[in-house]
Structure 1
């Protein structure tokens, strides 16, 4: 009978090692089935978390062959087909402190999440008068972000978190800020917005890994883009992210393409660019990657580009 081999990262609080287990193949089973069977029949010391088994509680996140999944809804057959192997490596979710084996520590993340005030900040007078009735359209705006089960998979996949200094927010925290920002019953948007701006909102790389792996299909990068737009509407323009966005916006509107030589100056200013970017730019020039004497001309059809800009701005003014 075909065997599936599981290489599981173990941790006892002090020592780390990889332990291998083997189980007979059974069709139609999940990753959580394998973990449970190993614990019940092979090694009762193995530690992992799970509860509902229906992708509702979010407690059973785990990395399999370097990718993050909810183990209760992830098919072993699909995993083996995807990676074309019967040897699977299980690890705890990334960008979390590990308590033991596959068990991670959520407490620091929850403390960070409190900064965005993930609850309704409402006008009590309005609440008493109206009871906060919502239209179907208003409800739909919060429907998808409310589906978040705090499984941590988006955080595990986030490349920015893996290199940040601890300040950058996890994607699910941005989601919480967005969820209450767009709630028609909430009337204190700055209380949700200012913390995300202060915690590196503009550092999101839009790599889409959080969206790709989210078991609930939440469009986290669209939410980040919305949060950025709202901070600019709030008047927060004097930051690197906003300046960079408007440098793109204005270059494309003017010429239909970017001016890569002036982009850093528009983003960081002349002094900072001179201090931090010139050595890198010099290497680019010597390697023939950029031409400092190239000044981009208007692209063919620039009038069409400007019409698109005008149309979008008119539509935004109406909404």
Structure 2
């Protein structure tokens, strides 16, 4: 099997962290255990999604704070925190704190735009400022300034027995270079590049110049790098849903195939007013999936991935999928596990 011109250098995975409302601790513990497993398998990074007012991780920074104390090497990311739910200064304090606690392993991914179902949640989220809130890229820029150590106030110094800083504290050196933008459009890709961020490109993109998913994603990657100070060296991570079946039981294989088939119709044409295109889930043996990835135009442009775990599977399914990715699929793509 021919390898890509860029062998896979960094292997990551993404989990949503679902839980049962009657027993939320079990679901959160499962997420922590899965990330611990990822570190043992040699994965370079683990990423968590967010789900506000749902039965998934609502506080990814808090979850990663816990993970940081149960792991020692694996990088920890968010994919992604929607900034419409956040105050940039307060989020910067939380991110810097977790980065310090983790020993500089945090990779925060964020996105712009209004919160999902904003009309239904704005009264609780922004009761006094709902119509004045700015959900544009400017909100992300404010976060970048805070994380990168720009001044946020004109007051500093000693007042009584207390000492005040005009910059966000703690300051986490290097965190500013590990900020990621979750982009699905040409405009977002260009903005992320111009502001020196890294780019997370997932299984959802906006159909602007084409209706071919790989072509669209490739154009986003190239646009991002064309506007980034680092050019072709700018970091991009691709996140597709990948489900290898090498060591799966017959029951698991049947479950995985049903899952992919149920989601396949949405991949045929752009969906909704925003014309969003979805990538098909990749289900099969590691050899089959590797061949499909190697023929994927956008995959050939990247050296990093954060393969997304399916939403609704069981803990044992995730163990099997991650183990097959780390021991079979990723090596077929040229990846070598990190040292223990």
TM > 0.5 fold call: no
TM-score (norm: length of structure 1): 0.26
Q: Which has the higher contact order (CA 8 A, sep 6+)?
A: 2
User: TM-score with structure 2 length normalisation?
Assistant: 0.25
Q: Which has the higher helix share?
A: 1
Flag the structure with larger Rg: 1
